[in-house]
Amino acid sequence: MNNKINKIGVMTSGGDSPGMNAAIRSVVRTCAFHKTECVGIYRGYQGLIEGDFKEMDARSVNNIINKGGTILKSARSKDFRTKEGRETAFAKAKQKGLDAIVVIGGDGSFTGAMIFSEEFGFPMMGIPGTIDNDIYGTSYTLGYDTALNTVVEAIDKIRDTASSHDRLFFVEVMGRDVGNIALNAGVGAGAEEILIPEENLGKERLIESLKRSRLSGKSSSIVVVAEGDKTGDNVFELKDYVEANLPEYDVRVSVLGHMQRGGSPSCFDRVLASRMGVKAVESLLEGKTNYMVGIRDTQMVLCPIDQAVKGKTDIDKELIRVSDIMTT
């Protein structure tokens, strides 16, 4: 192990996701295992600028593996986007004796880590925490599996009402730029249609699909809509359009919103977070810096953090084909 890394900071940044606490726990306990000091940085980059630090040991992360959100809090930092703000952050890090930082977050957090490292030569390591599963270099991000389960459970409950009242429900889920949640949860919950940013279904095709469903004997339907879908201006405009063209449908809208980010993480996310935390700390101790920890084919891998920031993820075309077959 590399003795140059004696004290590691850990922070959560950007939007919260289930599994972040499990990752914090893993980083802290891996540091303790390797006799390396660990410091929690509160409120992300803003906390780094303000020197909002707390020494952490193995006992300080008791009973958090099952908790959603992040005990280290998270915040957007306008100050960190300035050179002066980053200079202050670097000074605070050195003053605290930090030799490296593990950043748990998404592409915005990794962009900050990349710039910080380039400007000051400071070792950084990323752990992908976002429910959108839209980070290049890893098959899964922390929180994605939990969010899927939350959405599927919600849709199952909405379907009970839809069936009872012969209604059509548009269920909007998170996914401003990518449709991973909508596509996977839609297939998993048996949705009649799935609208995602990557595939513009078009209003006419949606109407034809709903007509076919009606003729086949379906009295209720669920349409899962990613918030970034381009089929309509928004989910409420889609509702109005369907009501105007298919007056026989009683249409409702349910926006799941931030409930998708909350809740106790799934077993998958807890195990993934634990593995990522170990890989992050041990990679830093081995002298590897400026990477993001990922998982591919069940194996932990490292992806250069600039590739994680600049790389583009692709929607699963095979799953789109499966969804088309399942909605027949």
Whether 132 is a known active-site residue: answer yes
Tell which residue, 206, 178, 180, 181, has the closest CA to residue 192: 206
CB atoms within 10 A of CB 22: 25
- Catalytic site residue from 52, 99, 107, 132: 132
Query: Using DSSP, how many helices (H) and how many strands (E) does the chain show?
Result: 11, 11
Cβ(138)–Cβ(128) below 8 Å: yes
| DSSP H helical ranges for 72-133 | 83-96, 107-120
Strands 167-173 and 124-128: unpaired
Between CA 81 and CA 83 the distance in angstroms is 7
Cβ(10)–Cβ(24) below 8 Å: yes
Cβ(313)–Cβ(177) below 8 Å: no
Residue with tokens 């596509």: 183
Q: What is the DSSP string of 153-179?
A: HHHHHHHHHHHHHTEEEEEEES-SS--
What stretches of 106-147 adopt beta strand conformation (E)? Answer: 124-128
Kindly list the catalytic residues. 132
